[in-house]
Amino acid sequence: MKIHKKTGSFLLACSLVLLTGCGSSSASTSLAETVATANMISDTSTITPIIVEQPLTVAETETLLFVREEEKLARDVYLTLYNQWGSNIFQNIANNGEQQHMDAIKVLVDAFGYVDPVSSNEVGAFTDAEILKLYNDLVARGMISSQEALMVGGFIEEYDIKDLQDAIDEAKQGTNQAAVIQTYDSLLCGSRNHLRSFVGQIEKDGLVYQAQYVSQATVDAIVNSPEEKCGQ
């Protein structure tokens, strides 16, 4: 994936959704500038100052841009399934969870000066061909029944959990920047809570949830533990 960088120092990044206003950096600010990102506390965002220290590696950059669209995938699928089935779990997680996850990654995308792969906020619009195909496949599956739609929710959260953990491991082995690792960790915590919600609803409907993307042991460990206060 081509890396797009702005010349000169990194800019002070502000998420328009998470912040009511953006400050400006001074002329003397060095490469290691303070930026704002979101810690997810039960998917209610607060802003914690963190430092962007250096450019990301090529692999880290590709992962960051992929995760940005991956979080949009989750939001868009949930909004589509809400429109189909009217189940509030989809609307709540899309609007109060996945949108905040998108915004948190956007903070980092802007801070590193990359071109945002989310060129359109339209539901179902994606730059990455892999994500577009996955979106179409998951929506088609979720249209089969309301129960299958909940299973799709479980799959997406497992998918996110695996990718975010891989992203954290990659970041630690790469430039090891707290700004990136803390953001991924917050999103990972939120995804675990989302999985708990979907599995809880599925089991409330009298079904047994089986792991779809990660190991059954991983799913069991998550759903059998209490909801987390992310970022605390």
Query: Is residue 228 in a domain?
Result: no
The average pLDDT across 149-169 equals 98
- Residue 15 falls within a domain, yes or no? no
pTM of the model: 0.80
Give buried/exposed letters for 24-57 (b at 16+ CB in 10 A, else e).
Answer: eeeeeeeeebebbbbbbbebebeeeebebeebbe
Residues 92-120: tens digit of each pLDDT: 999 999 999 999 999 999 999 999 999 99
Phi-psi region of 113 (alpha: psi -120 to 50; beta: other; left: phi over 0): left
Per DSSP, 13 falls in state: P
3-state secondary structure of 36: strand
Does 97 reside within a domain? yes
Q: Which of 11-20, 88-97, 223-232 has the lowest mean pLDDT?
A: 11-20
Residue 105 lies in a domain: yes
Q: Using pLDDT thresholds of 50, 70 and 90, give the confidence band for residue 26.
A: very low
Check residue 34 and give its pLDDT. 24
Q: Is residue 5 part of a domain?
A: no
pLDDT tens-digit map of 136-147:
999 999 999 999
In a domain, 96, yes or no: yes
What CATH number has the domain bearing residue 44? 1.20.1260.10
Domain count, the chain: 1
Domain region containing 59: 33-223
Let me know if residue 160 belongs to a domain.
yes
- Least confident span in 43-47, 104-108, 122-126: 43-47
Query: Does any domain span residue 12?
Result: no
Q: Is the pLDDT of residue 41 over 80?
A: no
Rounded CA gap, 51 and 191, in Å? Answer: 24
Alpha-carbon separation of residue 87 from 110, 144, 145, 171 (angstroms): 34, 14, 12, 36
**DSSP output for 110-161:** HHTTPPPS----STT--SSHHHHHHHHHHHHHHTS-HHHHHHHHHHHHHHHH
